[in-house]
Structure 1
Amino acid sequence: MAKPSTDHLVARYLERCLRCTAPGGALPSVRQMMEQCKVGPQTITRVVRQYQKQHLVDAKPKSGLFRPVSEIALPTVTRLDVIYFNVRGEIHAMLNDQIPVDHSFHGELITAIKQVASSRGYAVHFHAQLDADHEAQMVESLCDAPDCRACLTVGLSDMSMHRALVHAYLPVINLYPMGFHIPENAICTNADQVIDEQLSFLIELGHRRIAYLHNVEDHRPHRDLLLRRESFYRQAMESGVELHRGYVRYAGFIEDSQLEAARALLAIHPRPTAVICADQHLPAVYQAAAELDLQIGEDLSVLGTDNKLIAQTIDPPATSLQVPRVQAVHLGLDMLDDVLAGRDRTPEENLQATCRIICRQSTGPAKLS
Structure 2
Amino acid sequence: MRKVGGSARVARYLMRQIRTHGPGQSLPSFRSISQDCKVSATTLSSVIRQFEKRGLLVVRSKQGVYTPPTIPAERTRVELLDVLYVGADPQVVSHIAFRQDMLWHLGQQPSQLGYSVRFHGIHADPSGIAEIEQVAEDPECEACLVINLSSLAHLQPLQDAHVPYVAIYPESPEVPAHNCVTVDHTHIVASQLQHLLDRGHRHIGYLYKVRDHTFRRSEYFQREAFYRMALKHRLPIDDSDVQYAGLESADQIEGIHALLDKPNPPTAIICNDAHLPELYKAAEHFNLRIGHDLSVIGANDGPEVTAVSPPATTLRIPRGQAVKIGLEMLETILHSSDATTPNRNVAVSLIERASTGRAPTSVPRTQAQPQVSSI
TM-score, normalised via structure 1 length: 0.92
The aligned amino acid for 2:31 is: R
The aligned amino acid for 1:78 is: E
Question: Is the 8 Å Cα contact of residues 175 and 332 (structure 1) preserved in structure 2?
Answer: yes
The aligned amino acid for 1:174 is: A
User: Are 2:223 and 1:229 equivalent residues in the alignment?
Assistant: yes
Cα displacement (A) at 1:84: 1.1
Output the CA distance in 2 between the equivalents of 1:356 and 1:162. 30
Which secondary structure state, in structure 1, belongs to the residue aligned with residue 27 of structure 2? coil
Aligned to 1:85: 86
Output the CA distance in 2 between the equivalents of 1:292 and 1:181. 42
The aligned amino acid for 1:5 is: G
Cα displacement (A) at 1:158: 2.1
Question: Is the 8 Å Cα contact of residues 29 and 64 (structure 2) preserved in structure 1?
Answer: yes
Deviations 1:157-199 (A, max 9, x none): 1222201111100001101111111132011111111111111
Superposed, which structure 2 residues align to 1:27-176 within 5 Å?
Answer: 27-73=27-73, 74-87=75-88, 92=89, 95-96=90-91, 98-99=92-93, 104-130=97-123, 132=125, 134-176=127-169
Question: Is the 8 Å Cα contact of residues 187 and 350 (structure 1) preserved in structure 2?
Answer: yes
Unaligned runs of 5+ in 2: 363-375
Question: Is the 8 Å Cα contact of residues 86 and 124 (structure 2) preserved in structure 1?
Answer: no
Question: Is the 8 Å Cα contact of residues 3 and 144 (structure 1) preserved in structure 2?
Answer: no
Superposed, which structure 2 residues align to 1:202-281 within 5 Å?
Answer: 202-281=196-275
RMSD: 1.8
Which secondary structure state, in structure 2, belongs to the residue aligned with residue 5 of structure 1? helix
C-alpha change, 1:3 and 1:359, in structure 2 (3 Å) is farther
> What is the number of equivalent residue pairs in this alignment?
359
Cα displacement (A) at 1:224: 0.9
The aligned amino acid for 2:163 is: L
Cα displacement (A) at 1:131: 6.7
User: Are 2:320 and 1:319 equivalent residues in the alignment?
Assistant: no
Question: Is the 8 Å Cα contact of residues 4 and 140 (structure 1) preserved in structure 2?
Answer: no
Which secondary structure state, in structure 1, belongs to the residue aligned with residue 155 of structure 2? helix
Output the CA distance in 1 between the equivalents of 2:152 and 2:319. 23
Deviations 1:334-359 (A, max 9, x none): 0000110125546xx31111111111
Output the CA distance in 2 between the equivalents of 1:164 and 1:322. 33
Question: Is the 8 Å Cα contact of residues 81 and 125 (structure 1) preserved in structure 2?
Answer: yes
Question: Is the 8 Å Cα contact of residues 280 and 308 (structure 2) preserved in structure 1?
Answer: no
Which is worse superposed, 300-309 or 243-252?
Answer: 243-252
Which secondary structure state, in structure 2, belongs to the residue aligned with residue 235 of structure 1? helix
Output the CA distance in 2 between the equivalents of 1:4 and 1:236. 54
Cα displacement (A) at 1:202: 1.1
Which 4+ stretches in 1 moved above 6 angstroms?
Answer: none
The aligned amino acid for 2:78 is: V
**Alignment partner of 2:192 out of 174, 188, 198:** 198
Question: Is the 8 Å Cα contact of residues 57 and 68 (structure 1) preserved in structure 2?
Answer: yes
Deviations 1:312-352 (A, max 9, x none): 11111111111111000000000000110125546xx3111
Which secondary structure state, in structure 2, belongs to the residue aligned with residue 35 of structure 1? helix
User: Are 2:297 and 1:303 equivalent residues in the alignment?
Assistant: yes
Deviations 1:212-235 (A, max 9, x none): 101232332101110011011111
**Alignment partner of 1:189 out of 163, 174, 183:** 183
Which secondary structure state, in structure 2, belongs to the residue aligned with residue 107 of structure 1? helix
Cα displacement (A) at 1:25: 2.4
Output the CA distance in 2 between the equivalents of 1:3 and 1:108. 38
TM-score, normalised via structure 2 length: 0.91
User: Are 2:18 and 1:18 equivalent residues in the alignment?
Assistant: yes
Output the CA distance in 1 between the equivalents of 2:317 and 2:11. 38
Unaligned runs of 5+ in 1: none
Output the CA distance in 2 between the equivalents of 1:21 and 1:70. 11
Output the CA distance in 2 between the equivalents of 1:268 and 1:244. 13
Output the CA distance in 2 between the equivalents of 1:40 and 1:289. 67
**Alignment partner of 2:326 out of 327, 332, 351:** 332
The aligned amino acid for 2:83 is: V
Question: Is the 8 Å Cα contact of residues 56 and 72 (structure 1) preserved in structure 2?
Answer: no
Output the CA distance in 1 between the equivalents of 2:133 and 2:150. 16
Question: Is the 8 Å Cα contact of residues 178 and 222 (structure 1) preserved in structure 2?
Answer: yes
User: Are 2:287 and 1:293 equivalent residues in the alignment?
Assistant: yes
Which secondary structure state, in structure 2, belongs to the residue aligned with residue 132 of structure 1? coil
Cα displacement (A) at 1:251: 1.0
Question: Is the 8 Å Cα contact of residues 243 and 256 (structure 2) preserved in structure 1?
Answer: no
Aligned to 1:352: 345
